Structure formats: structure tokens, C-alpha cells
């Protein structure tokens, strides 16, 4: 009888594994036996993604939702990225209505999308050539600035929820301390520790995210992987663990999708791990400079005077920018300053230790001795270098990211227990565990200003052609980079590396792997 029952279970498992997600959910409720069989079908983590360039928002949403839910999955989170010509509120409503109300949903507007087409299954990477100053809803742009990529994830062994960074409308100050505390409290409640496995952050384009990301990086332990889009428009729906906040009382400056380890995870369940690789697209040039005076206009832009580090003579920044323009081969290249900033650590403030960060600020122009940059937060005495976007640097850096991700491929096909010391590039939530596991998905936060021939998907797609891949194109990428790819090039002896979390003209790769339970 035992063999007969086992055969019946195998047949049932074969049948339910072919069901779409909604029918699969119903099958799991038939009986304890069916529920157990369905549990075996989804014993491993799963990422599902689909892309549509249908000109109709309703039809596009239907295409990607139907594709993502065409096989068994119990989504713990959903991320939808839509073209700027689509109505963000309508897209968020349509997607949320098709999903269980307990599933956290983030819908954001993007400059481009990457993923497999829901209809043809072909891998596509689409950039809409719209600059920040252009009107995405103009008649010229609405015909092609339409599309959607949908991502759904099921990561057993992890708990997932959205946590917003709130700014009360009555006094207009972002509640960053509450935000960090909410992340730590949520993580502690489900995992028993304060270090999430990973965080995906979406920041509002009207807000300067640099100081907030420095606080996040300082407060969240280094083993937590952090990626995202710092310059977006987004809407979010909280999951079953979150408190709901009124849009009449608060602005949402950012939202964090937090992945925390489940302290009640069964011992025979494997582990989901995150790995990050960075491909930078900027190159430093010129001498090291020092900010002498800084005047800011809110959080929009700053005027600063500068001198060569070690000297007191104020430079003619207007003339300096003219010289830079004449020296650059690519007239369309973007120019930034990379500023070194020291901040106190928020993890152990009693030690009075500071951490070193690098933040990019886009150069807007110059007027006599003043350099004008976007954003705020620069202080007199801060050191900085000029950087410019560079296609050759981007291409070389993407190849380096590809080689780093290839180590994960070797780990997936080998029984050897790889240590992260074997990995030249990706940082990883597996750093302490020493095993990288089997890759089952990837997310990409790419750069808008890379040109038509640039192919962001290459490192993951060529390494793991069969796994689900999805990505968005953004202006300012978030990616915690403890590996030193964006390290200040002139580190002083004994000085800690400058950590950069918000990047310019770069691509962030999030590779997700599964480590089976130890046989012991």
C-alpha cells in the first residue's frame, strides 16, 4: 500500500506542477495530502518575470500577469515597472487587483525595461530615449514610451514586506530614524536579528536620496545586500505585516522591500542568497580638489568654490569647465564630481567612529569661481574628483562583472563549496556561509545614458540563459559596493575604502541563488 500511495503522490505532483498559480492555490486547499504534495512542488525558491510592450496598459498588464502566474508560484512580493507614458496610478491599481491583498506590491515608472517577452519569450532590452527635461506624455513620445515588466518572487525561508520612508506633510522632515527602526524591528520580529538578507529600495525622484542612503548604509550591517533605483516615481502596497499610512498625512520619500530570514524556517529547507556585481560607467580625471565654500538651494542644487587639495587659491570653475569640455572626446558625456564624505556610524554610535562615503553629484555648470551641481550635502573641506561618463569604461566594467558572475556559474555546476574569496566582484549575503548555490534568477538596475548598442543583460543572460531575468533602466542606481569597484582612486595609507551606494551611469546586477540544506 505504501508503494501505491507513493505512486499516486508522484502522479498528483506531476499534475499539480503543471497548473497555473491560481488553480495550484486551490489544489493546495483540497486536503492535507494535496497540500503536502503542493508543498513539495514549491519546496525551492522561484522568480517569475515577464515583459510586454503592448500599447494598451490593460492588455499589457494582462499579458505579464497571465505569464507570471502561468505556473505554480505563491508570490511573496511583486515589482511592476511601467513606461512613463502609462498612468502609474492606473497601472498600480490594475496589478494590485489581480493579486492577493496580502502580497506587497511596488509599481514604479522607468526609462526602460528588460526581460523575456510574455508573448514571444524573446529576451528584450528596451530604452526609451527621453531625457529628464523632456515630457514623457508628449505626442511624440507616447507611441513608443509604453511597456511593462512584472517580477514576482517566492523565497521560502525568507519573510518579505514593504517599509516606507515617510515625510509628514505638516512639517516636511523625513522620518529616517523611524524608517531604519522599522526595518530593524521587522527583521528582528521575523528572524531574531537586525540584519536583513537583502533590501531593494525605490526613492522618489523629487528627493535627494544620498544622505538617506548614507544613513541606511551606516545603520544596516554590511552583510545585507542593498540595491535599487534612487530616482523614480513609485506607488506601493504594504503586505500583511505592515502598518498602512494615509497619503493625506504623509509623503512617501522611498520604500524598502525588505527580505528577512525566517527564524521558524524548517531545518530541511535550503537558503536563498543574494549576490551583487557592479559595472561602473564613469571614469575619474583631473587633480584632487577641495570644496572651500558651499551654498545650497534646498535639496535641488549647490554652488561651491574649490581649490586644488593642498592649496588655498580659488579656481575659476567656469573656465575649468570650458577646459574640460575642450579636452573630452565625447561632447555628449555627462560630468560629475565624486565627493568624499565622512559620517558617524549609526550601528555603534557609542564608539564615535566615522565611515567614509563617496557620493556623485551631476555638474550643471559654472559661473566665475562657482561650480553648480545638483543636490545638496557637500560641506566645506570635502575632497572631490571630476568624473565623466565613458562608454569604454562601461564596456570593460561590464566584462569584469561578467567574469565575476561566471564564478557563480561555476559554483552552480560544481559540488565544490566556493568561498566569496573566490569571487573578484560580487558582494554577497553568502559571504559568511561560504556556499553560493544554484542561481535561479537575476534583477538588473541599468543606466539610461549608455547608448543603443549597450546590452546590460549580457553578464547574467550569457551566464545563466535559462533563468528568469528582469530589469529596469534608471538615472541613479543603488548598489552597496563593499568590494571597492567605485573606491576613491587615491586612498591615503591606512584610510578605509570609500563606500558608494548611489551610483551614476552604472549597472547593478542582483543574482539570486539557492543553497540546498546540508545533508548533515
CA 320 – CA 138 distance, rounded (Å): 37
In this predicted structure, what is the pLDDT of residue 346? 59
pLDDT at 497: 59
Q: Which of 32-41, 168-177, 341-350 is least confident?
A: 341-350
Q: Give buried/exposed letters for 471-485 (b at 16+ CB in 10 A, else e).
A: bbbbbbbbbbbbbeb
The per-residue pLDDT for 143 is 52
Mean pLDDT within 154-178: 90
Q: How confident is the model at residue 132 (pLDDT cuts 50, 70, 90)?
A: very low
- Average pLDDT of 239-262? 82
| pLDDT score of 93 | 96
Q: Mapped to the 3 state alphabet, what secondary structure does 328-360 carry?
A: CCCCCCCEEEEEEEEEECCCCHHHCCEEEEEEE
- Closest to 516 measured CA to CA, from 426, 412, 423: 412
311-323 mean pLDDT: 90
Of the candidate CATH numbers 2.40.30, 2.40.128, 1.20.140, 3.40.50, the domain formed by 282-389 belongs to 2.40.30
Cα 18 from Cα 186, distance rounded (Å): 35
Q: Are strands 105-110 and 77-83 parallel, antiparallel or unpaired?
A: parallel
Q: Looking at residues 429-443, what average pLDDT do you find?
A: 69
What is the per-residue pLDDT for 488?
Answer: 52
User: Over 90: is that where the pLDDT of 144 sits?
Assistant: no
pLDDT computed for residue 498 by the predictor: 62
3-class DSSP state of 441: strand
Query: What is this structure's pTM?
Result: 0.89
pLDDT at 432 over 80: no
The CATH 2.40.30 portion of the chain extends over 282-389
Cβ atoms within 10 Å, residue 272 = 27
Q: Can you tell me the distance from the alpha carbon of 338 to that of 500, in angstroms, rounded to the nearest whole number?
A: 10
Q: pLDDT at residue 25 above 80?
A: yes
Residue 437 phi, psi (nearest 5): 80, -170
Amino acid at each position: 500500500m505504501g508503494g501505491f500511495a507513493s505512486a499516486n503522490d508522484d502522479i498528483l505532483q506531476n499534475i499539480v506542477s503543471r497548473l497555473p498559480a491560481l488553480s495550484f492555490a486551490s489544489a493546495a486547499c483540497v486536503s492535507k495530502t494535496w497540500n503536502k504534495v503542493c508543498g513539495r512542488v514549491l519546496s525551492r525558491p522561484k522568480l517569475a518575470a515577464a515583459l510586454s510592450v503592448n500599447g494598451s496598459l490593460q492588455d499589457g498588464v494582462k499579458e505579464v500577469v497571465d505569464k507570471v502566474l502561468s505556473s505554480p508560484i505563491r508570490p511573496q512580493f511583486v515589482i511592476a515597472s511601467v513606461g512613463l507614458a502609462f498612468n502609474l496610478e492606473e497601472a498600480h491599481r490594475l496589478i494590485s487587483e489581480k493579486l492577493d491583498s496580502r502580497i506587497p506590491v511596488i509599481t514604479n515608472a522607468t526609462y526602460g525595461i528588460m526581460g523575456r517577452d510574455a508573448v514571444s519569450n524573446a529576451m528584450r532590452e528596451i530604452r526609451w530615449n527621453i531625457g529628464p527635461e523632456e515630457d514623457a506624455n508628449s505626442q511624440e513620445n507616447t507611441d513608443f514610451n509604453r511597456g511593462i515588466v512584472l517580477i514576482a518572487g517566492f523565497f521560502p525561508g525568507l519573510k518579505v514586506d514593504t517599509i516606507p520612508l515617510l515625510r509628514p506633510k505638516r512639517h516636511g522632515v523625513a522620518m529616517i530614524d523611524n524608517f531604519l527602526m522599522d526595518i530593524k524591528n521587522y527583521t528582528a520580529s521575523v528572524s531574531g536579528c537586525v540584519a536583513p538578507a537583502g533590501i531593494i529600495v525605490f526613492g522618489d525622484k523629487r528627493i535627494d536620496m544620498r544622505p538617506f542612503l548614507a544613513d541606511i548604509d551606516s545603520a544596516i550591517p554590511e552583510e545585507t545586500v542593498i540595491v535599487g533605483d534612487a530616482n523614480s516615481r513609485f506607488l506601493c502596497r504594504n503586505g500583511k505585516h505592515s502598518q498602512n499610512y494615509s497619503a493625506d498625512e504623509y509623503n512617501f520619500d522611498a520604500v524598502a522591500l525588505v527580505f528577512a530570514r525566517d527564524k521558524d524556517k524548517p531545518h530541511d529547507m535550503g537558503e536563498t542568497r543574494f549576490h551583487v556585481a557592479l559595472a561602473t560607467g564613469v571614469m575619474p580625471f583631473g587633480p584632487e580638489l577641495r570644496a572651500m565654500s558651499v551654498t545650497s538651494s534646498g535639496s535641488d542644487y549647490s554652488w561651491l568654490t574649490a581649490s586644488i587639495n593642498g592649496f588655498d587659491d580659488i579656481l575659476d570653475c567656469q573656465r575649468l569647465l570650458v577646459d574640460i569640455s575642450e579636452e573630452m572626446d565625447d561632447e555628449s558625456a555627462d560630468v560629475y564630481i565624486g565627493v568624499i564624505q565622512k559620517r558617524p556610524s549609526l550601528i555603534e554610535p557609542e564608539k564615535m567612529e566615522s565611515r567614509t562615503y563617496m557620493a556623485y553629484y551631476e555638474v550643471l555648470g559654472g559661473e566665475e569661481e562657482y561650480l553648480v551641481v545638483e543636490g545638496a550635502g557637500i560641506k566645506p573641506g570635502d575632497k572631490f574628483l571630476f568624473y565623466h561618463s565613458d562608454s569604454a569604461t562601461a564596456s570593460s566594467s561590464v566584462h569584469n562583472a561578467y567574469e565575476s558572475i561566471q564564478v557563480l556559474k561555476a559554483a552552480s555546476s560544481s559540488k565544490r563549496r566556493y568561498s566569496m574569496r573566490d569571487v573578484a566582484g560580487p558582494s554577497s549575503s553568502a559571504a559568511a556561509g561560504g556556499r553560493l548555490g544554484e542561481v535561479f534568477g537575476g534583477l538588473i538596475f541599468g543606466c539610461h545614458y549608455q547608448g543603443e548598442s549597450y546590452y546590460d543583460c549580457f553578464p547574467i543572460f550569457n551566464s545563466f540563459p535559462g533563468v528568469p531575468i528582469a530589469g529596469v533602466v534608471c538615472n541613479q542606481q543603488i548598489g552597496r559596493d563593499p568590494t571597492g569597484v567605485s573606491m576613491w582612486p587615491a586612498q591615503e595609507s591606512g584610510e578605509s575604502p570609500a563606500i558608494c551606494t548611489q551610483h551614476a551611469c552604472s549597472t547593478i546586477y542582483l543574482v539570486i541563488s539557492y543553497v540546498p540544506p546540508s545533508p548533515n
